[in-house]
Structure 1
Amino acid sequence: MAARDWTAQAIQRIEADFNRSADTHLIPMPLPGFPGIDVYLKDESSHPTGSLKHRLARSLFLYALSNGWLREGAPVVEASSGSTAVSEAYFARLLRLPFIAVMPSSTSPDKIAAIEFQGGRCHLVEEAGAINEVSRQLARETGGHFMDQFTYAERATDWRANNNIAEAIFRQMEAEPHPVPAWIVCSAGTGGTSATLGRYVRYRRHPTRVLCADPEHSVFFDHYRGACDGQQDDQLTCERGSGIEGIGRPHVEPSFIPACIDAMVKVPDALSLAAMRHVSAVLGRRVGGSTGTNMVGVLAVAERMRAAGQGGSIVSILCDSGERYAHSYYNRDWYLARGIPMVESDDAIAAAVAGRCLPVLAHAQWPA
């Protein structure tokens, strides 16, 4: 009985925290070269922990509590070096639970500091591919719980309603000229957001289609293309991790559901980062690289709509603030060290925004 009482109190704390927070803004994004097509960005950087992952962390905690997986005083463990760990540390502190983030030893000091600021502890491992197994082991040794975001992201969120991101978008669009988006564009880290969006639009019988934009070094696009061809391979891997933090994966994750999306493109990192810089310049504040990947997806969709003589609205996601990337994406020396072109990519995005052609994306899968 005491355990049930603690669980009830923990859920009440999370719900009270949610009630204290307003929903995130929906920001119009000018696209001068595409009259009749309105673009909006759902600004997830305004959450208390600064990113889209705040929603995921809240859902994971509520899911784990409802399943009886969390106990008073027992640690919460997650395999993450990024925004998910920051957000989970926030909710663990809210429930007065220890939090341990398992991450590669190469993780930047800035990320470690952000997790520790929220009350978390960072456990560094030499082999990046071992973080899941080390997380499971730590959970066993401490009597804690491994959250396992990549397995549970798609099932922890109530995709039908309960103020998920899809419901919030459609509610905020109600007074706009084109209230039902023609397309929603997102990217995939766990796959939880794309699954939630795809399920919601089908459940509500909206004609909206969902495009997922994948970064250059990730297996999700190839996994999706194989699924479309009836040859889905859940064992796909790639040699290196994504250059766009927070999205893309070197192997297929259980929460990525290909059937929940309608189209997919793979975006070169140089274009993602140029689009990131464009959005930052238009908004007057820094955004993260995943927002740039999404913006390239928006441009690809807008070109197809214009070619088909269609108007309407496109909604995408501003995933996080760019302040976390001051030493990388907003540092010219970082680009020089990696040989990533800036001037050519900036020119290409400027031309695309003005209505001239976006560089051809070599990897794209559109609905028939």
Structure 2
Amino acid sequence: MKPLRTRAGLSVRFDPRALVVGGLLCAAVLAASVVLIGTGDFEIPAADVIRTLLGNGEPAHQFIINDLRLPRVLVGLLVGAALGLSGAIFQSISRNPLGSPDIIGFGQGSAVGALTVIVLFQGSARDVALGSIAGGLLTGAVIYALAWRQGVHGYRLVLVGIGAAAVLTALNGYLLTKAHIVDAARAVVWLTGSLNGRDWEQVWPLLWLCAVLVPLVLSRARALRMLEMGDDVAYALGVPVERTRLLLMAAAVLLTAAATAAAGPVSFVALTAPQLARRLTRSPGPNLLPAALLGGTLLVTADLAAQRLFGADTLPVGVLTGLLGGVYLLWLLVTERKAGRI
């Protein structure tokens, strides 16, 4: 960390490596997004994509890019950023690398809410999104209440969440067995996690929610770093522990539920993005912004790989993130066991 003093006497500390990593991630996600926009049955060169995004493209390119492909990429960026940020929050609060929303039940809770709307009420896409958010919030409240005992201990939160995830996964299976064949097929497609067919109706709600929650979470970054040191240390440093923890958990649950509502339960992005961000920046603390940038980069890159390696729109992005994330989880468990932490 290096101090930077202004003429007015203000002092700001910054990490040069974190700034470089953040800049490289921004460049990477922009490059991947441009390539992804140009990918499809009708290939568009990167130069034409940039020209069209700046408003100087051909009419055919404007329709393909602005109406069909740009919303998909924006949903991918926002979903990845929301999952990366929520994963960083949960891992910092629990002080556990396994404290990810798709490990401790919040993603499964959102899926239960969405499946309930699909299977029992045959709801529209908007109803499914609202059901996903309601399911995520209800799951968050239940897990927080069950994990509470004179405060919320990190390992207790993870253990309660893993148990809740198992119950919710079984409930998802039960709902699928009771569904009609058409509703079951629709539910399975949604449960896979995909960016196919996403349009501006998914972009705007997620964009507004991120515009409110991301600055709120970033403004609590210092308090979250204090929480990583333990409740007693945070109290001594003047942090209102329970109020801060509850606020950040509510924001993380909302981000997870909104991301799940927009793209389905895309697995393991929330687990891997914060861990990789810490390894890249080598900086202490939650690394909230690098985690969000890396989450967006991972999801867009995974969607690009799914289209380039397997043909356009043939492999949902959730399948690829699940495969890669499962390998990462096994590696994480092995390293944590060798370190004696599990």
| Shorter-chain TM band | under 0.3
Q: Which has the higher strand share?
A: 1
TM-score (norm 1): 0.25
Q: Which has the higher helix share?
A: 2
